[in-house]
Structures are given as C-alpha cells and as structure tokens.
C-alpha cells in the first residue's frame, strides 16, 4: 500500500490500541459492545475524526467492525467503509489472556493499528510503503539534538533553564538523578557544537 511522493508520519495517523479498548470497556470479553469514537486534536481540542464500532468477543477470540467514511480523492465525495478486524488472544502464565488485533492487510498479529488519510483501512505500519516514520526521525543534525535536549528538560520538570547551559535541578530531585540528566545533556550539547562547527566550516568553504 503506497502513494507516489507520500511520506507518512506515525503521529498523523488515527490509532487503535486493543489494550486501551479493553481497559476502557469498549471491548468486553464474552460481550457484544457498540457505540462510536471521536478523535480530537490534542492542541485545539477540535474533532478530527469519528466512527462507529461493534465489538463481539468470545472467551478467546472475536471481531471488531468499524464503520466510517473516507473522502474520494477523485470526486471529492465520501465513501462508506466497513473495516473488519479479527481479534485473538493467548493465555498468560499467571492467568488471564493477552489480546491482539490482526492487521486487515497483512494478517499480522499486533496490539496497535493505524489509519492514514490516504489509506482506507486500519492496518499495521509494516503494511505501508514507504514505511511510516516518526516526525522526529526526519529532523536532522542540530535540530534533532535540540529537540532531545528540550525533551530532557520536560522529563525532569525543568521549566527554568534554556539550551545555553545545563538543566536546572528541580526541588526534590535527587542529585544522582539530576547528574544523570545533566551528563546526558552535556553529551548532546557537545554533539550539537560539533554540527555547528562543521556547518561553519562548510559556509567558509563555499561561501
């Protein structure tokens, strides 16, 4: 499944996680469930997609049927889609079962499926060509390193420092933990300086 010039981002896809569906009661073992789901933009809160579902689970297997519409790229109209996903489970050593969905395209047993705008069915990312990537994988050089350094600060809960120095130690954080974060940040900062020095060298060479 592919498209000319298409470069899918994993973040841009709608996502189904069978573990979350079970935990929230959308799917229940030994029951038939139905209803609808709505996806919203995490920044604006606006609705981005919606669909109806019907889940039918026995003790060990079942099906999840999704009903939704997709735009026709040629006519601009919307076409109805029925996406049927097989469900199966395996027994766990300490009791209970682990549930899986089966990709409608490859049949692969997985716990998450995605749907991209250019693909009608939910499927596993291995069914897509070119292979979907995270947006962060497409950021190169110093930009990627800067993103990693900001991520360290978010993980620490540091809202005071910038990238011109080391992270700020939040109150209550153990020094050993802080030093581990600071050491990683220093390694990234050194790599960032290396990129910048190479960039300056190229500008001097070809400028």
SS3 133: strand
Residue 168 domain-assigned (yes or no): yes
Domain termination site, one of 127, 162, 185: 127
Q: Is pLDDT of 150 > 70? A: yes
Residue 41 domain-assigned (yes or no): yes
Q: So what's the pLDDT on residue 77?
A: 83
189 or 82, higher pLDDT: 82
Q: Is pLDDT of 188 > 70? A: yes
SS3 7: coil
Phi, psi of 151 (to 5 degrees): -65, -35
| pLDDT one-digit tens code per residue, 12-26 | 688 899 999 999 999
pTM for the whole thing? 0.60
Residues 10 and 124: beta-carbon distance below 8 Å: no
Distance of CA 161 to CAs 60, 154, 192, Å? 52, 11, 17
Domain termination site, one of 74, 97, 127: 127
Q: Which domain holds residue 24?
A: 10-127
Same domain, 99 and 53: yes
Residues 51 and 68: beta-carbon distance below 8 Å: yes
| pLDDT one-digit tens code per residue, 26-71 | 999 999 999 998 887 665 677 778 899 999 999 999 999 999 998 8
Residues 17 and 26: beta-carbon distance below 8 Å: no
Helix axes 175-206, 141-156, angle to 10 degrees: 160
Number of other residues whose CB lies within 10 A of the CB of residue 20: 13
- Extract the tokens encoding 39: 């996806």
Phi, psi of 181 (to 5 degrees): -65, -45
Residue 3 domain-assigned (yes or no): no
Q: So what's the pLDDT on residue 198?
A: 63
Q: So what's the pLDDT on residue 140?
A: 55
Interior angle at CA 30, CA 21 and CA 121, nearest 5:
40
Q: Is pLDDT of 1 > 80? A: no
Overall average pLDDT of the 73-98 stretch: 89
Mean pLDDT of the chain: 83
Number of domains in the chain: 2
**Per mean pLDDT, which range of 1-15, 102-116, 170-184 is the poorest?**
1-15
Q: Which residues of 72-99 are buried (b: 16+ CB within 10 A; e: fewer)?
A: eeeeeeeeeeebebebebeeeeeeeeeb
Q: How far apart are CA 29 and CA 18, in angstroms?
A: 12
Residue 84 domain-assigned (yes or no): yes
Q: Is pLDDT of 181 > 70? A: yes
Q: How far apart are CA 154 and CA 180, in angstroms?
A: 15
Q: So what's the pLDDT on residue 164?
A: 78
Q: Is pLDDT of 3 > 60? A: no
């Amino acid at each position: 499944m592919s498209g000319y010039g298409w470069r899918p981002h994993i973040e841009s896809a709608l996502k189904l996680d069978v573990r979350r569906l079970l935990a929230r009661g959308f799917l229940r073992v030994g029951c038939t469930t139905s209803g609808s789901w709505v996806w919203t933009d995490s920044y604006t809160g606006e609705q981005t997609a919606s669909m109806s579902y019907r889940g039918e689970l026995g003790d060990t297997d079942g099906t999840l049927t999704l009903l939704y519409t997709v735009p026709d790229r040629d006519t601009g109209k919307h076409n109805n889609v029925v996406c049927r996903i097989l469900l199966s489970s395996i027994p766990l050593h300490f009791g209970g079962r682990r549930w899986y969905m089966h990709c409608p395209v490859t049949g692969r047993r997985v716990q998450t499926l995605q749907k991209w705008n250019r693909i009608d069915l939910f499927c596993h990312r291995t069914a897509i060509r070119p292979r979907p990537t995270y947006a962060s994988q497409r950021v190169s050089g110093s930009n990627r390193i800067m993103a990693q350094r900001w991520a360290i600060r978010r993980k620490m809960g540091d809202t005071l420092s910038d990238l011109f120095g080391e992270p700020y130690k939040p109150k209550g954080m153990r020094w050993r933990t802080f030093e581990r974060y600071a050491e990683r940040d220093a390694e990234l900062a050194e790599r960032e300086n290396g990129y910048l020095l190479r960039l300056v060298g190229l500008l001097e060479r070809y400028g």
